[in-house]
Amino acid sequence: MDISWKSKVARDIIEISVPIHEYHAQEEKLQPFFKSKIREIQGDLNVIKILKKSLDARKTDIKYNLRLELFSGKDWPETISMPDFPPLRKEETVHIIGFGPAGVFAALKCLQLGIKPIVVERGQAVKERRRDVAKLNRSGEMNTESNYCYGEGGAGTFSDGKLYTRSMKRGKIQEILELLVLHGADENILYEAHPHIGTNKLPEIIENLRETIRDNGGEVRFGAKLTDLNIIGQQVKEIAINGQWESCQNVVLATGHSARDIYYLLHQNQIALEAKPFAMGFRIEHPQSLINNIQYHNEKNAAILPPAAYSLVTQVAGKGAFSFCMCPGGIIAPAATDNGEVVVNGWSPSKRNGNYANSGWVTEIGEEEWVDFKHHGPLAGLEFQKYIEQKAYEMGGGQFKVPAQNLLDYLEEKQSNALNASSYHPGKTSVDLNNLYPEAINFRLREGLRAMTKKLKGFDHQDAVVTAPESRTSAPVRIPRTVDLHHTEITNLYPCGEGAGYAGGIISAGLDGIRVVKAIKEIES
């Protein structure tokens, strides 16, 4: 075991590397294990806290790198606890439209600041939503208000629950991770280098978060859809929920990137919007065992190694092509929100123990791609995205069957005779996916993939299959806001989260929810 000292103060922090088989042999008794290893240099210890854990699989002797904080003498680690929720100033309210990660963490922040959040969510609570999602998978029947994107917890509920973000604001991320742990997530998300929760655990955590909001005086309504806005001057005076008008003070608009009706509503009301680049492509799926072999080359430890992931990025014709939202041991999900369109995404259970590995393989989409849709102004990218999703539905033959092609056939631009097995449930139809996107996009996807197969030898395997479109990677529209985070033209409307173009993923959406509520209270972030 390698030990390197990071500091020599009372609370020491050390970094150690533990061979993976040794770590797993001791998993149930990690504290005594670490203590026995460290005692000889550190003396008696109260407790050891894991600050960071990452897998180092670059060489054949695969190991975990751990950063540990040692507590001895009178020192003990602080335990995490529920934040303070002071009594609410009842006259002060914030309407939060949408109960995805942005809305959830915005509501909790309101409560911490003594403001009453009134959350309105078009979809259903987790329990009912679970039934709707199962029906979609089983019989291709879509509930346009309750599906993989709409309902309690938003697009984050039946997701993989990967909790990493490119944001470097660790302290702020910690606030969200701790709240998730306090509501039922495993403590390991606080120190794993690539934390994730899993689709089987997220729904209960989301329900617990909702109960905390209600228990502390917040309001959460389901089946409650924002249908109109009454704007006078620079203020939203009233909002219509399912057609019923109610007055409002501040409004956080956290409706996600699938709510096209919200973009249309704003556009009809001549509220400024901007087209923004996003990414599209397909979802590629391999047997998980194949990805494990490619990544680890380590038969000896196959049983204890976590299901392998990958992250790929390259440039083709001056634009990025990259893997997106990789789900080891996962399932490809039908993530459309309307009839007549197909969208794929992916999720995995907490153990990531499914037979398949799926990931988005996408390329940047900019205004040169949507020239034919330019007359839609700021909604040009959105209309192009919708066109592709509807075309995919037709190619799939209806009932959310997904157009698919074996990877090798896609690269050779010929339709597959028999499709490889896949985790996608509503069914798949063999097509030549080169016909889905304009050639410039196909070229980047294909050539990017060819370049990547040189980095990951064996990735272009005969068992791999491609489904499409992966089209909802981020919002195709930005709802512009000022430095004070309200809309550029409406001073009490706060565009927030992924749908407004300020987040991409669970953590960044949650962070944006917190940031916007602090802006309402004029607290610096």
The footprint of ligand FAD (CB under 6 A) covers 97-103, 120-123, 148-151, 154-156, 158-162, 225-226, 254-256, 259, 262, 325, 333, 335, 345, 347, 497-499, 503-506, 509
- Comparing CB distances to ligand FAD, the nearer of 98 and 396 is 98
Q: How far is the CB of 130 from ligand FAD (least distance, A)?
A: 14
Which residues have CB under 8 Å from 1's CB, separation 6+? 16, 17, 18, 19, 22, 37
Residue 434 identity (one-letter amino acid): N
Of 95 and 401, CB closest to ligand FAD: 95
Q: Phi first, then psi: what are they for 390, rounded to 5°? A: -70, -40
- Least Å from the CB of residue 50 to ligand FAD: 22
**Strand boundaries in 194-318, DSSP class E:** 219-222, 226-232, 235-241, 244-247, 250-253, 274-275, 278-287, 313-316
C-beta of 37 vs 225, nearer to ligand FAD: 225
Give the list of residues 6+ apart from residue 106 with CB closer than 8 angstroms, or none.
94, 96, 117, 252, 254, 496, 513, 514, 516, 517
Least distance in angstroms from the C-beta of 150 to ligand FAD: 3
Q: Which is nearer to ligand FAD, 6 or 169 (CB)?
A: 169
Minimum distance from residue 182 beta carbon to ligand FAD (Å): 19
With respect to ligand FAD, which residue has the nearer C-beta, 45 or 344? 344
- Show Cβ contacts of residue 266 under 8 Å, excluding neighbours closer than 6 positions: 229, 273, 479
Are 273 and 257 contacting, i.e. CB atoms less than 8 angstroms apart? no
**Residue 11 Cα to chain centre, angstroms:** 35
Asked if residue 49 lies in contact with residue 12, where contact means CB atoms within 8 angstroms, the answer is no
CA atoms within 13 A on the CB side of 283: 34
- Which residue, 433 or 475, has its beta carbon nearer to ligand FAD? 475
Smaller CB distance to ligand FAD: residue 233 or 243?
243
Pick between residue 241 and residue 436 the one whose CB is nearest to ligand FAD: 241
Taking the CA atoms of residue 78, residue 79, residue 82 and residue 86 in that order, the dihedral angle to the nearest 10 degrees is: -30
Nearest-angstrom CA–CA distance, 25 and 37: 14
For ligand FAD, the closer of residues 45 and 197 by Cβ is 197
CB 280 within 8 A of CB 385: yes
Angstrom distances, CA of residue 30 to CA of 34, 278, 340:
6, 44, 52
State the amino acid at position 263 in one-letter form. Y
Nearer to ligand FAD, 62 or 516 (CB): 516
CA distance 128 to 94: 26
Amino acid found at 2: D
Chain centroid to CA 444: 24
Task: Compute the least distance from the CB of residue 343 to ligand FAD, in Å.
Answer: 8
